[in-house]
Amino acid sequence: MSLTEQVAVVTGAGRGLGLACVRALARDGAAVVVATPEDGERTEVMAELEAAGHQVLGTSTDVTSEDDLAQMVTATLARFGRLDILVNNAGVIGPTAALQDVARSEWEAVMDVNVTGVFLASRAVLPTLLAQRSGRIINIASAAGQIGFPLRSPYAASKWAVIGLTKTLAVEVAGDGILVNAVCPGPIDGPRMDAIIEAKAQATGIPAAEVREQLHGETLLGRLIPAEHIAEMVAFLASDRAASITGQTLDVNAGYRV
């Protein structure tokens, strides 16, 4: 799945799934842009990739900032001369609470990053992709954007919105050679899921170990999903092997709540 001479931007690329995506795309030959507002994480990821011989650029990018996104695109084009792939990965998990206990500020904070951030980042790169008449936009949605997801209403609603945005944008830009897809992970193993499990345990009074076991039991494979497995789907969608796939929602969920 060679991505040689391709340039990929990954938002929220400093840790977790974003870092796994950067590694997979770089491994397959892409020059990568590590777009994250976290200076320490960005520096560490860039050092790792540069030591491995990959082409890499870091940008201080908050996806809710139009100025940051414009600077990200300008810096990418100045360094590499093109931009081919956008992975909209940046996101926040939001509160774990019944809807009546969710503050408006908490709701808006999730929507700002998870929905408006995807909109703004996509809009920022589209002039370049349209001029090239080629490109890929890959949005990280969630299984929570396909099912009822109790105690996580802002997050679930945001991911349903990402899927709707994906399908609509795919229709708009298909004639310009741009493919737009969403990837829906199930429960991903790692610190972020640990925090979600702990928050659910506190909200429900169920021990965290039991919450984790419930999650395992809700997947056909009986386990959480390594971030690298989702990153492999992202790398596939970025490649020529996925040249006839657009407007789709692809699940990497270990059979979660099938």
- Residues that are catalytic: 155
Structure tokens at 120: 């703004």
Structure tokens at 73: 């695109």
Q: Which of 60, 55, 32, 246 is closest to 135 using CA atoms? A: 246
Query: Residues near 100 by Cβ (< 8 Å), separated by ≥ 6?
Result: none
Strands of 249-252's sheet, edge to edge? 56-59, 31-35, 7-11, 85-88, 135-140, 178-185, 249-252
For 204, the enclosing helix (H) or strand (E) is: helix 191-204
Q: Which of 184, 181, 163 is closest to 242 using CA atoms? A: 181
CA atoms within 13 A on the CB side of 234: 32
Distances (CA, A) of 153 to 101, 144, 178, 181, 212: 11, 9, 31, 23, 20
Q: Are strands 31-35 and 7-11 parallel, antiparallel or unpaired?
A: parallel
DSSP string across 58-81: EE---TT-HHHHHHHHHHHHHHHS
Q: Are 89 and 184 in contact (CB under 8 A)?
A: no
